[in-house]
Amino acid sequence: MYSLRGRGAGDPTRVTAGNFLRAAAFALILSLLTLPQAVWDWHGVGYAIVSGALASGLGYAIWYVVLPTMRATHAATVQLSVPVIAALGGIVFLGEHLSIRLVLASVAILGGIALVIRAKRPECDG
């Protein structure tokens, strides 16, 4: 729904920045509930900011630039690749282990995406 609603939302960078600011305000309010138990790790805070603001924000901005050139079914299907990309990032950047379960799940996800993208659209007889 996020991508479908975002297709015609205007400037992707402005829209994404607004969404992130609203989400950050909501997260801050919720975080206040656990403030007495909080243990601050400034490296963790920095990584969260860089990951959220830069990597995710930039990723969404690029996505919204590309999104208008795609059919809705293709866009929705391609978004399903995000867990595979995140898992591969964990392997490459965090040293997580590659498992047969991850390989099989990734093949299933990417194979399904390929089937949808390669499928021929039915022609209308009308």
- Residue 89: CB atoms within 10 Å: 12
The token duo for 125 is 């007889």
Which tens digit of pLDDT belongs to each residue from 49-95?
888 777 777 787 788 788 788 887 788 888 888 899 989 988 998 89
How far, in Å, CA of 46 to CA of 55, rounded? Answer: 13
pTM as predicted = 0.60
In the predicted structure, residue 125 carries a pLDDT above the cut 50: no
Which amino acid does the sequence have at 92? V
pLDDT, position 126? 47
Q: DSSP letter string over 18-72?
A: HHHHHHHHHHHHHHHTTGGG----HHHHHHHHIIIIIIIHHHHHHHHHHGGGS-H
CB 76 within 8 A of CB 3: yes
In the predicted structure, residue 17 carries a pLDDT above the cut 80: no
